[in-house]
Structure 1
Amino acid sequence: MKRNGGDHSGGPGLETIQLITEHGTRVEHPELDPWVEDVRDEDLVKLYEDMVVIRRIDIEATALQRQGELALWPPLLGQEAAQIGSARALRTDDFVFSSYRENGVAYCRGVDLTDLIRVWRGNASSGWDPYEINMATPQIIIGAQTLHATGYALGIQQDGADSAAIAYFGDGATSEGDVSEALVFAASFQVPVIFFCQNNHWAISEPAGLQSHIPLAGRAAGFGIPSLRVDGNDVLAVLAATRWALARARAGGGPSFIEAVTYRMGPHTTADDPTRYRDANELEDWRAKDPIARLATLLESRGVLDAAREEAIAAKADDVARELRAGCLGLADPGPEAVFAHVYSTPNSWLERQAGNYGRYLAGFAGGSAEENI
């Protein structure tokens, strides 16, 4: 049976806001226009470059997985505008809590490319130091990061700072209890947190239309949290909506909820086969709304994106992909004792005893070092 991913047209105050249509035309919106009045054509070119680069990263990482160099990869194909538009609205002192798909956000935060794929190669339990870039490592447990972001935002509030926390999650996560608990707590204490939902229409094989019969942004009202629903394939609208939410947070206005309506054009992960549950016509419909192509059309119409500039951006994207591949292939396999590293923040006699027993076990093999016998 064919199951349509569905798309809600919205309700009162929940229209899907656009600033750039799928045809590459700039349209006005009185609510969001003021938040991007400073964005010039050159700024749009930079956003375009970001999206091209992260799509190239995504393609390269997917190829690495198919070639057996990565164990798994969660593609972001089609969601570039949602990630770049929101990430570029943040300040360096804002803190990001993401799921496993926000590799574009991680790129904007300055994550080293090798650190981006370290976990997916199976070389480490974590990719980077969260405090170096103010972004937590990806959360695999669906929706749990919303609680982490809310707790961090409470800390910001207690410190009297004007930074904010942002939690990224998908449409499927809104069915998890953790998300509802985070929304309740955030609303109760009016903490500076943004709940950023990338509604890509499919929670693995479960369509968004089955999970909710109203726009997901409409759920926020039940918790007393203001929300916006934007075209998640429109990088300018996403940038504006995130700036709006950040301004509320910094001014003490409490939490906000943004639903970025986008589409996952690839599989849920490289272990998934979307052709088993998704109609091919639906995918083609969304290809026509491609976030990169629409911005390119707008920039070309304004005369700021010519063939030479596109070639330069493509060359940069290829350079980044080469760096990613080299970093992946250059990762050294961890030794067997690494399993005991970073389990606790301070020495622990129980863990040290286990490590000692394991070391003696390995040393008992005849010939070679313990590492060679693994």
Structure 2
Amino acid sequence: MSEADITAPHITDDPQTAFKYDLFATDGAARRGRISTAHGPVDTPAFMPVGTAGTVKGMLPENVADTGAQIVLGNTYHLMLRPGADRVERLGGLRRMMDWKGPVLTDSGGFQVMSLAALRRMSEDGVTFQSHLDGSRHHLSPESSIGIQHALGSTITMALDECTAHPAPWATAADSMRLSMRWALRSKDAFQVRPGHALFGIVQGSVYDDLRRESAEALTAIGFDGYAIGGLAVGEGQEEMFRVLDATVGFLPADRPRYLMGVGTPADLVGAVGRGVDMFDCVMPTRSGRTGQAFTRHGKINIRNARHQDDPRPLDAACGCPACTRFSRAYLHHLNRCGEILGAILMTWHNIRYYQDIMAEMRASIEQGRFGDATAMMADGWLRGDIDRL
């Protein structure tokens, strides 16, 4: 087959759709809304499955959509290294290449670069780093990060930031945050405005309330389509993360989406929604699925444990995913113990579906004014655990 014989799937954009956030209901600080984009709507609160290298591992795009997901996340750092942003652009953009019909948010690469502490050099201009793949040297500036995300065809682009390591002294966190704010302004200047597309700024400041407020106010003064909260879930613990959210969210515009990056467990999601956050992403449901860990209404289950080897029950009787409606725990245990690919696929599918079910339940409960009761029932189920034994 020649290149001329290969046709990319047709994905329709709507350039007439303006990017906007509509708030439909609140229950306390929890918000039920909808983000409109050129590539389709996103009902919030929303969880974005992570498609690091242009795929949600183990899942076809239509299967991801079947879980209820409306938006996925792509990783700028990994895609710029392989297959390369120019190649993705020539193939019609990330959405076309991976045949994902909905919106895509791409991170800026800042978090991955932070994790390469021994392989990077920071400067006012940006960061120079060595590829973890082959040691080749690359430079990422605010302008180049925005340009790469543009080439990828991102629906939502993230400003380049430095994700401050934890723990960090106040002075170190302040310098890091203020560098990110200068980069945010450069990112805004480099962004090519298009109908239905958006640029989000990222609040930094480690665990220091005054720095978080300074960062939020600086970003608001620049003006972004949405505001992310970065630099959390990096070792500070859930209680401290919630405290920082309490000190931060109130300084973000109420008419823009709020996105907590890299979070988290089901309990993290519930707590953050209750504090006014709208969007989330995390590798936890997919990574855990590949290692035999399932998130359920009865808490976390390790399907590799011997107690599941003769268990005919589903993982979660209330779940509508294929792992739960077609297969037993005993079969899933067998697949995972044997290292069969199907086991990882089914567990991943279940976890993504369960995360989407949590978000759907929170959206409904906010609309109906019963968010507190609904989330208390979730927490009670996780606390009681999987107590029904054969």
| Larger helix proportion of the pair | 1
TM-score of the aligned structures, taking structure 1 as reference length: 0.33
Q: Which has the bigger relative contact order, CA under 8 A and spacing at least 6?
A: 1
| Larger strand proportion of the pair | 2
